[in-house]
Amino acid sequence: MNILVTGGAGYIGSIVVEELVKAGQRVIVYDNLSQGHRDAIDRQATFIKGDLADVVRLEAVFQQHDIEAVMHFASSTLVAESVADPLLYFRNNVACGLNLFEAMLRHGVKRFILSSTANLFAEPERMPIDEDERIVPGSPYGESKFILERMLHWLDRSHGLRYAALRYFNAAGASPDHGEDHDPETHLIPLVLKVALGQREHIEIYGTDYPTPDGTCVRDYIHVIDLAQAHILALQALEEGSRVYNLGNGRGFSVREVIETARQITGHPIPAVEGPRRPGDPAVLIASSTKISRQLGWQPRYPDLRAIISSAWDWHRRHPHGYEN
């Protein structure tokens, strides 16, 4: 199958591309490299540098490559930035998403996987969070993803565009060849590992008075390879109809647990500095992935926090400054 992967030079997208190539698919990566890395793209994939705002270039991709399915990762993703500049996120995520949908429909492409987010659940009423939880986006970023989900709902009804929206929680870990290299870096595990690499003096803990066992926030970490496999399973299932899935381990790990596990793995003391809570940080966020497990047989292969952090540490030790280019 010819699969277009937008944002395939980014952290999650690049590892999905790697897994697709291993599965024998022909992959075309479309990325403007504003956040991604050329060196992150599997050498067996076709790379086209381009922006989803460039409708002429996007049209040429569909004309030249006989696209049969699309996996969409290209987006702006920083929650704080989206609060400061909502229009940037509606332009980059919603307007550019519309460009992509229009190109698909012009060329009869009816299979689509959306990289969605757990930021849809700012005020969960139940834990773990399943697909029936009420939607309360926590930011313009989360809102932009929900708008795309609603657009897909109506495109399915009106045009038969089959889609899967995958709402993931905290992607983490690495494959042997691909890892996490953001600028700026905002994710806890790579920030902790930067301390072990000597690139930061300490890690900040934002809030130690939450109603959790050790007073720090609890989050659900899912290995990025497990995430990639969920995308492949969801694509295979689209013949049976559109679907929405929450993706996580179903287990929560506190900030202190992450830091302590990283200390054990790296052998570094990783000093931590305690500070006040950040506005808007919920005490606990844990996914229920029962639906995708039941319907598609998906099971995390790397559910253990130690395995997740170990894989990330292995990659960061070999790439202490991230990708070269």
Question: Active-site residue numbers?
Answer: 141
Q: Which helix (H) or strand (E) holds 287?
A: none
Look up residue 302 and give its two tokens: 């790397």
Coil, strand or helix at 294: helix
**Cα 66 from chain centroid?**
26
How far apart CA 189 and CA 180 sit, in angstroms, is: 10
Spatial separation of the C-alpha atoms in residues 220 and 18, rounded to whole Å: 24
* Residue 11 · residue 182 · CB < 8 Å: yes
- Coil, strand, or helix at residue 217? coil
d(CA 114, CA 5) in angstroms, rounded, equals: 10
Q: What is the DSSP string of 58-93?
A: HHHHHHHH---EEEE--S---HHHHHH-HHHHIIII
Residue 26: strand pairing partners: 2
Query: SS3 of 264, please?
Result: helix
Q: Match 């066992």 to its residue by tokens.
A: 213
Beta bridge partners of 219: 253, 285
Residue indicated by tokens 């905002």: 186
d(C-alpha 141, C-alpha 155), whole Å: 21
Angle made by CA atoms 34, 39, 43, in degrees to the nearest 5: 125
In contact, 7 and 74? CB cutoff 8 Å: yes
- What's the CA gap between 139 and 261, in Å, rounded? 30
